[in-house]
Amino acid sequence: MLAVQQLESGYGESVILRNVTLKVKPGQAVCLLGRNGVGKTTLMKSVMGLLKARGGTVSYKGADLTKKAPGERAKNGIGYVPQGREIFAQLSVYENLLLGLEAAKGKARAVPEEAIAKFPALRSMYGRRGGDLSGGQQQQLAFVRALAAKPDLLLLDEPCEGIQPSIVDDIRGVIRSIKSESETAILLVEQSLDFAKSVGDYFYVLEKGAVAWEGDLESLDDEVIRKYLTV
Ligand SMILES: Nc1ncnc2c1ncn2[C@@H]1O[C@H](COP(=O)(O)OP(=O)(O)OP(=O)(O)O)[C@@H](O)[C@H]1O
């Protein structure tokens, strides 16, 4: 589904990602782990096309997307829930969702029922301003906005960061239900190993912008945790 090959990326003079190669298969949830600042968000932005690759390739469903703009990647079925949510504060909840539909592959004019059904509490908030929602409600909105376009690949950048435990449980349930109902591929940046293990199949650890370790999440042992993840 997604194949990143020898990717190099960065900001201005600084090179952040070096020679990153990873894969996400259909139906698989892959977790991107690593300490703060190692380049996890940079990798997500590079897959979404918000940051241009300086070297290497990003392929999706066998097509080379490396030079494609973010909008085109979204139309091809890549959904993105960015770190910090990036809700439009002045727009209503429903208008925020319509922006997700803009990215859709088809011509849907209404938010698909299966997307809003993942976080049904949002239905009663359609008329509220995005900026007036709590952090947890905004995260649910960002999630449904991405799901509205019926993505085949979902990029989730720290969806549980700063979110109350009950909504973290909801997010865990939604990720599991997406996995059980569809072949959607998921690439998840996550700080909590417990959360990663509860939804993920495979992991990559980034260290200084490069892949330092990878394996099945079940095989993630204390030595790897101490070496690459303990702060
Ligand atoms: N817009 C930017 N301009 C310049 N440097 C940046 C920018 N965004 C991030 N960086 C730098 O790139 C490096 C990687 O940042 P990135 O956000 O990808 O890390 P991360 O692993 O996602 O960290 P965190 O867990 O804290 O979100 C850091 O050194 C950061 O300071």
pLDDT at 110: 84
What mean pLDDT is reported for the chain?
A: 94
Distance CA 4, CA 64 (A): 10
Q: Does the beta carbon of 16 sit less than 6 angstroms from any atom of ligand 1? A: yes
Over residues 98-129, the pLDDT tens digits come to 988 887 666 567 888 999 999 999 999 999 99
In a domain, 17, yes or no: no
In a domain, 29, yes or no: yes
Query: ipTM of this model?
Result: 0.96
Percentage of residues in the chain having pLDDT higher than 70: 98
Over residues 145-189, the pLDDT tens digits come to 999 999 999 999 999 999 999 999 999 999 999 999 999 999 999
Residue 210 has pLDDT above 80, yes or no: yes
In a domain, 203, yes or no: no
In a domain, 147, yes or no: yes
Number of folded domains in the chain? 1
Residue 218: domain span:
2-12+22-196+209-229
CATH number at residue 137: 3.40.50.300
pLDDT at 2: 98
Between strands 78-81 and 29-33, the pairing is unpaired
Q: Does the beta carbon of 11 sit less than 6 angstroms from any atom of ligand 1? A: yes
For ligand 1, atom 11: residue with the closest CA: 37
pLDDT at 107: 59
**DSSP H or E run through 175:** helix 165-181
The phi, psi pair for 65, rounded to 5°, reads: -100, 5
